[in-house]
């Protein structure tokens, strides 16, 4: 089952309701990149994360990782930063 859909259901962020893509960082961590318009109609982008908990067969929203108000370049950079952090933690666990 899709981790993002499991955590967020059919809800969308009111500031960034247009889903651009989904991705996975790890088999149990997924993200959604979305877009919308700011107060002055400027484009804004947000990234939402969710974590699947296999032992509970459920996914939770990772509010501490999710952020908005980016330019597209900043949003892409932020996704890469989180991916790097997750891979660093994974490497340390081995």
Is the pLDDT confidence value at 77 over 60? yes
- Read off the pLDDT of each residue in 56-61 and give the average, rounded to a whole number: 96
Instruction: Determine the pLDDT at residue 66.
Output: 92
What token pair was written down for 55? 């032992």
What token pair was written down for 24? 């996975």
Average pLDDT, the chain: 89
Query: What is the reported pTM?
Result: 0.86
HSE at residue 33, side-chain half, CA atoms within 13 A, is 17
């Amino acid at each position: 089952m899709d981790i993002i859909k499991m955590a967020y259901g059919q809800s969308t962020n009111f500031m960034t309701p247009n889903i651009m893509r989904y991705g996975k960082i790890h088999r149990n961590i997924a993200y959604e990149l979305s877009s919308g318009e700011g107060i002055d109609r400027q484009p804004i982008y947000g990234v939402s994360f969710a974590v699947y908990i296999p032992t509970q067969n459920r996914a939770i929203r990772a509010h501490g990782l999710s952020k908005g108000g980016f330019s597209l370049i900043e949003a892409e950079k932020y996704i890469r930063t989180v991916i790097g952090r997750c891979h660093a933690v994974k490497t340390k666990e081995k």
